[in-house]
């Protein structure tokens, strides 16, 4: 499975309620969270030039957590 990542510095995830995303931090840590929570909590505390995201799907999450 090919997973396309988007740098937050290029495009932020859409701010819609119930919009889950997978976030990949510079240290490789993967987190599944709502885009709204990410935009409100993480962006203000993180260097977004090194954070990537992709829309969440159960298939992607399973592939990333093998």
State the pTM of this model: 0.86
Q: What is the pLDDT of residue 46?
A: 73
Helix and strand element counts for the chain (H, E): 2, 4
SS percent in the chain: helix, strand, coil, step 5: 30, 25, 45
Structure-token match 């931090």, residue found: 25
Q: What is the pLDDT of residue 65?
A: 93
Q: Give yes or no for a contact between 23 and 30, defined as CB atoms under 8 angstroms apart.
A: yes
Q: How far apart are CA 61 and CA 43, in angstroms?
A: 22
What are 9-64's pLDDT values in tens digits?
A: 899 888 888 889 999 988 999 999 998 888 777 766 777 778 899 999 999 999 99
Show me where the domains of the chain are located: 6-64
């Amino acid at each position: 499975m090919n997973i396309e990542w988007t740098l937050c510095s290029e495009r932020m995830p859409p701010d819609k309620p119930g919009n889950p995303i997978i976030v990949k931090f510079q240290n490789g840590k993967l987190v599944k969270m709502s885009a709204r929570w990410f935009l409100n909590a993480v962006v203000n505390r993180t260097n977004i030039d090194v954070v990537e995201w992709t829309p969440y799907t159960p298939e992607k999450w399973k592939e990333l957590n093998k």
